[in-house]
Amino acid sequence: MSFQLPTKEDKHDYVHEQFERIARGYDLSNDVISLAMHRAWKLRAVSQLLAGKKGGKFLDVCCGTGDVSLVIAKQAAAGTAITGLDFSQNMLDLAGERQRRLAVRKDKIKTVKIDWICGDAQNLPFADDTFDGAIISFGLRNLTDLQKGLNEMARVVKSGGRIVNLDLGHTTVPLFAPIFDTYFSKVVPVIGGLLQNDKTAYTYLPESGRNYPRPERITAMFAEAGLVNIRHTPLALGTVALHLGVKR
Ligand SMILES: C[S@@+](CC[C@H](N)C(=O)[O-])C[C@H]1O[C@@H](n2cnc3c(N)ncnc32)[C@H](O)[C@@H]1O
């Protein structure tokens, strides 16, 4: 039987249950599936976030196991405060473990405060104009209402603050498109099956990418959220899309 994405009504619980289930093997699978390239993409995304202001308060929405928050912690000015928010407690527990392990080895990270908060990206538990910048990495695609997620990020960021979204793109390189499509739809579920014994979660991944809006549409959604100076940077031959916007 062919794979079916969850309905709008089921998506929140479906995605939540899936990340609770795959949390433990998530980091290894990410490295294998992206050939570790996700690390460079995240560095690039964080450098766009911090190009506006190197210190202050930053929000990492859908933080997962804390990859992006920990990159911010390494790159930001001392005294920076980071909030990582996710609705999967299992992912957040791993983020906390990783932070503790890193703090032992890296002095810099000790001068940065990180709070891990369990909450919904579509209803952020923060007051308006709280953060100097906000970022979401491979999270937007998983929300039931993408526009609401972006509107919420815009709401909690101060005027002049940056909002960054890193997620899957749609390659337009003619020869590469079918190769990437075969890799993503046929090979990735096999890798997920082998590493995590969870072929379903890694079948959802390419399907959610296929259904994710094209970069031009994400740009329009940034504008709809009231952001200006919007920039789209294609990465990895367009298979990954990096968007930046600034709150008016
Ligand atoms: C693909 S992972 C990305 C994790 C991390 N940002 C990264 O780049 O490695 C997506 C994350 O989004 C979280 N998530 C999905 N929908 C969410 C929602 N509505 N509210 C909060 N977190 C959500 C999941 O629990 C998961 O940890």
Dump pLDDT digits (tens) for 24-48.
Answer: 999 999 999 999 999 999 999 999 9
Mean pLDDT of the chain: 95
Q: Is the pLDDT at 172 greater than 90, yes or no?
A: no
Domains in the chain, start-ordered, CATH in brackets?
8-247 (3.40.50.150)
- CA–CA gap between residue 192 and residue 203 (Å, rounded): 8
What is the tens place of the pLDDT at every residue in 182-230?
999 999 999 999 998 898 889 999 899 999 999 999 999 999 999 999 9
Report yes or no: 219 and 153 within 8 Å, Cβ to Cβ. Answer: no
The mean pLDDT of 90-118, rounded to a whole number, is 91
- Cα(86) to centroid of ligand 1, in Å? 6
Give the helix ranges, DSSP H, for 26-145.
26-33, 37-50, 67-75, 89-105, 107-110
Tell me what pLDDT residue 1 has.
52
Point out the ligand 1 atom lying closest to the alpha carbon of residue 88: 25
- Cα(190) to centroid of ligand 1, in Å? 22
Q: Which residues contact 63 (CB under 8 A, 6 or more apart)?
A: 69, 84, 85, 86, 91, 92, 95, 116
What is the tens place of the pLDDT at every residue in 110-136?
789 999 999 999 999 999 999 999 999
- Cα(228) to centroid of ligand 1, in Å? 25
The number of C-alpha atoms within 13 Å of 103 and in the hemisphere containing its C-beta is 11
Report yes or no: 127 and 60 within 8 Å, Cβ to Cβ. Answer: no
Report yes or no: 205 and 15 within 8 Å, Cβ to Cβ. Answer: no
Which pLDDT band holds residue 143 (cuts at 50, 70, 90)? Answer: very high
Report yes or no: 232 and 245 within 8 Å, Cβ to Cβ. Answer: no
The mean pLDDT of 165-194, rounded to a whole number, is 93
Strands 131-137 and 157-168: parallel
- Cα(139) to centroid of ligand 1, in Å? 5
Tell me what pLDDT residue 6 has.
93
Which residues contact ligand 1 via a Cβ below 6 A?
15, 19, 62-64, 67-68, 86-88, 91, 120-122, 137-139, 142-143
Q: Is the pLDDT at 142 greater than 60, yes or no?
A: yes
For 38, phi then psi, to 5°, come to -60, -25
CA-closest residue to ligand 1 atom 12? 62
Q: Is the pLDDT at 55 greater than 80, yes or no?
A: yes
Q: Is the pLDDT at 107 greater than 90, yes or no?
A: no
Q: How many CB atoms lie within 10 A of CB 46?
A: 27
Return the C-alpha torsion angle 79, 109, 91, 161, nearest 10: 40
Q: Locate tokens 């690039």: which residue?
A: 44
SS3 for 126? Answer: coil
**pLDDT cut 70: percent of the chain above it:** 100
- The neighbouring-strand residues paired with 244 are 164, 231
Closest C-alpha among 136, 73, 142 to residue 101: 73
Tell me what pLDDT residue 136 has.
98
**pLDDT cut 90: percent of the chain above it:** 90
Q: Is the pLDDT at 108 greater than 80, yes or no?
A: no
CA-closest residue to ligand 1 atom 14? 62
